[in-house]
Structure formats: C-alpha cells, structure tokens
Structure 1
Amino acid sequence: MTETADNSCAIRPAQAHELTVERRVAAPPATVRRMWEERIEEWFCPRPWRMVVDRLDLHPGGVSQMRMLGPDGEDMPNHGIVLEASEHRIVTTDAFQSDWQPAGPFMVGIWSFDDDGAGGTILRGTARHWTEEACAQHEAMGFAEGWGACLDQLKTLAEGGSID
C-alpha cells in the first residue's frame, strides 16, 4: 500500500507482497535520517504505544533489539538484524536474530530518505513480506494507520516540532 501525496492509500500489486507509506518532510534527508536514529524511541510506535531500544547497531549485520510497550502492559519484542544502513536508506529484517539465528520471518523493513529536489525529503517506510498471507495480515493489523502515524511523528520531529 502506498500513501499518496494527499496521504490517501493506493494498493500495489499483490504479487509484490509490499506495503508502503510515504510523507514529504520539510527538512533535508540528513536531518530526517539523523532524527530516525537519534530519536527512534519517540517516533517509532504510534501513541499511546512506545518503543524501547535495547540495542541497535546500525551497520550491516548489526543487531536490532527493540520492544514495543503498550498502554495495558503489553511488551512485544521486535528483534532482528540490520541489512543496510546508509545515508539514504536503512533496511532491517526479523528473519534473523543476533548471531544469525534464524527466526520466523515476517518482513523486511525499509526506511528511505530521498531528496525531494526542493530542500526537503521524501520519507518512505516499506514492509516487504515473504508471502501474500503475511502481507495481508500486516495490512489487516493496520499497517497504513500505524506506520503512517510513525512517519507523521518522525516528520514532526524532523521539522522541529514536538510530539508530546
């Protein structure tokens, strides 16, 4: 699913097993990328949920160990491996955990920070799934709303605002 310029959704071909949200951010890509990393605990979960980063090694093969904490005491681990961490893109997967231990794969997460040609950034969050069923499950869980809220929060921080 793709968020269009007016934040409505458009569905991509089912065979891609891919869901995407997109925002235009009035800040340069380097700022958005820096906010992604430095303030991840503030923007990564839609409120009232919050994220706790136990470990995040942003380099290929690096460990990603985070937990999503819910308002009713939920504690959902979100562990995986960093596949790519460049200036314009961060890619992670839950197909592996630390020391390359296989895990039940759900998706590959891709965050991209592209120059919009006007001093701002096109920010994209994409989830690629191994199966059509996993993709449909993620969409039904509220992918567009959840990831959209996260991108809105990151956009606010990158543009100098507060999400409190």
Structure 2
Amino acid sequence: MSAPAEENYELSVTRHIAAPPERVWQVMTERQTEWWCPKPWRAEIIEQDFVAGGRSAMMFKGPDGEEMPQEGIFLEVTTGKRFVSTDACQRDADGNWQPSGPFMIGSWEIEAEESNGVRGTRYTATARHWTQEAHDQHKEMGFEDGWGACADQLVKLCKN
C-alpha cells in the first residue's frame, strides 16, 4: 500500500513517447548525458551502476562554468520498467554508506501505452520529498519546467 501523493510531497511529469518501451529504456539509461539536464546545462556521468545499491553520480555543468554534483544510490532497478534513486545516503571513499542531506527519492518509469491511436510508451518521472519545505523548494526551483524540459529532450531522442 502506498501513501497518497500529498503525503509523499510528490511532484511528477509524464509524457507519451511514440516509441516502444525498449527504445525508451535504452535512451533513458544509455544516453543520459543527452537528456538528463535542461539545456544549456549538461550532465557528465561519473558512475551509473544500474543495480539496487549501485552508485548514481553525475556532475551537472552550467553554461557559465557552474558545477552541481549529484551523488546518490539506486534503490531499485527493474530493467525495462523503472529505476529509483535517492540522495539520502552515499558511499564514502572507503565504500561505507554514509547519511547525506536528503532532498528526494526520484523515480523514472515507463510502460507500454496507446494514446490517441498511437502506440508508444508512458514515461513518468517523480520526485518524492521528505518535507513540505523540500517539496515547495523543488517546485519553486522550477521543477515543472526543468523536469518537463528533460522529458521533452527524452521524447525527441526516442523519436530519432
């Protein structure tokens, strides 16, 4: 049983992608540098170990030299369906788990869908926050525009 979205302090974006789930999954996991950040920002992959407990580390780089590290772990990876990660903990240099200032649990999932007679894939990206304050902060940072731009970039890549 899952809690209602409002209790999870949840934000999400969804898109219909006119491509089969296999194609969408391949682009989601193998071409993250091309869609993960809203342009003109870009994502540099440090490590993406797509297994539960695997490291998820990237550096977001801005057009004016800004850098924003993204460090976390995968909580779940169901190949071809979804991956879930969090920034609530990370491994230190010795490989030990350490708590980290949690901001969210992110979930990216896909499923086959037909929309207006077009077969394809339903993509949903969700951010669940620990507090209302973190939820509101993420929303004010431009969640809808930012994650929406990433979803649109994914859509475009999957069509090509």
Give the TM-score taking structure 1 as reference length. 0.87
Residue 97 of structure 1 aligns with which residue? 90
Q: Matches of 2:5 and 2:31 in 1, distance apart?
A: 33
- Higher fraction of strand: 2
Structure 2 unmatched ranges of 5 or more: none
Residue 44 of structure 1 aligns with which residue? 36
CA apart distance, 1:29: 1.1
Q: Identity across aligned pairs (percent)?
A: 49
CA apart distance, 1:37: 0.9
Contact 1:113 1:122 in 2 (8 A): yes
Contact 1:14 1:132 in 2 (8 A): no
After the TM superposition, which parts of structure 1 deviate over 2 Å for at least 4 consecutive aligned residues? 12-16
Q: Matches of 1:36 and 1:78 in 2, distance apart?
A: 17
SS at match of 1:31: helix
Query: Please, what is the CA RMSD of the aligned residues?
Result: 1.3
Q: Matches of 1:112 and 1:13 in 2, distance apart?
A: 16
Contact 2:46 2:59 in 1 (8 A): yes
Contact 2:8 2:130 in 1 (8 A): no
AA in 2 matched with 1:20: S
| Aligned pairs, number | 149
| CA offsets 1:76-132 (integer angstroms, 9 cap, x no match) | 000000011112011000001123211000000000011104530000110000001
Residue 159 of structure 1 aligns with which residue? 159
Moved more, 112-121 or 42-51: 112-121
Structure 1 unmatched ranges of 5 or more: 1-11
